[in-house]
Amino acid sequence: MENQFRNINYLEEGNGRQKSAYKLLKKLNLFEILNNYNPVLVGTIPIDIDISNSDLDIICEVYNHDVFEKTIIQFYKKCDIFHIERQFIGRLETSFSSFKYDDFCIEVFGQPKPVFNQNGYRHMIIEKKILDLGGEKLKEEIKKLKRSGMKTEPAFAKYLGLKGDPFEEILKLSLLSEEELFRFVRGQQKVISV
């Protein structure tokens, strides 16, 4: 499953919103411009649980934040609502940029670690596995919770009955074997449907 997200070509064959995202990302040449940073699209659009105001979230592997930020500024500063900042998240220096282009808000996030080890990617992969196990009913319930104003991880946590920090609890599910995850998701669905 994880290999399917390594480049954005899968979006071209997806639903309407995924196709629109693909065209926009190609138009912006974003993945080519940021190629040295191993960009990966994460979040709700790749796994088809986005709602009308969902962002395009792109994570990158960044060790030189000055050069990375200069690149983003050079190519995207003229976009609407452009913002860029640097902060520490979990002791990691992190660059964060956001801007709007056409109908999409785009967020570009860079940390000094491989993208496949970053939490945004890890969340997306476990959420995709949960959705595959839970089927269309679970997907629709997650979208419903998101439309009510919840963020993605809290929506999954609520649906699955997870207690504590939803971001951490979702990551803990990624440590389960496929069989354990299957039993957990199916067990939670029986509890919730009663």
Q: Output the 3-class SS for the chain.
A: CHHHHCCHHHHHHCCHHHHHHHHHHHHHCHHHHCHHHCCEEECCCCCCCCCCCCCEEEEEECCCHHHHHHHHHHHHCCCEEEEEEEEEECCEEEEEEEEEECCEEEEEEEECCCHHHCHHHHHHHHHHHHHHHHHHHHHHHHHHHHHCCCCHHHHHHHHHCCCCCHHHHHHHHCCCCHHHHHHHHHHHHHHHHC
Choosing among 3.40.50, 2.60.40, 1.10.760, 3.30.460, the CATH entry for 2-114 is: 3.30.460
Residue entry with tokens 């595959």: 132
Give pLDDT tens digits for 61-71. 999 999 999 99
**Residues written for the chain:** 194
> Residue 2 has what pLDDT?
57
- Is the CB of residue 111 less than 8 Å from the CB of residue 122? no
**Predicted local distance difference test score (pLDDT) of residue 1:** 54
Residue boundaries of the structural domains of the chain: 2-114, 121-193
Q: Which residues on neighbouring strands pair with residue 109, listed in sequence order?
A: 59, 96
Q: What is the pLDDT of residues 106-161, one digit of tens each?
A: 999 999 999 999 999 999 999 999 999 988 999 999 999 999 999 999 999 999 99
Question: Does the pLDDT of residue 189 top 90, yes or no?
Answer: no
How far is residue 18 CA from its own chain's centroid?
A: 13
Per-residue pLDDT for 96 more than 50? yes
pLDDT of residue 191: 46
Predicted local distance difference test score (pLDDT) of residue 193: 41
When pLDDT is cut at 50, 70 and 90, the band that residue 50 belongs to is very high
Name the average pLDDT for the chain: 92
Residue 45 has pLDDT above 70, yes or no: yes
Whether the pTM exceeds 0.75: the reply is: yes
Position 90 scores a pLDDT of 84
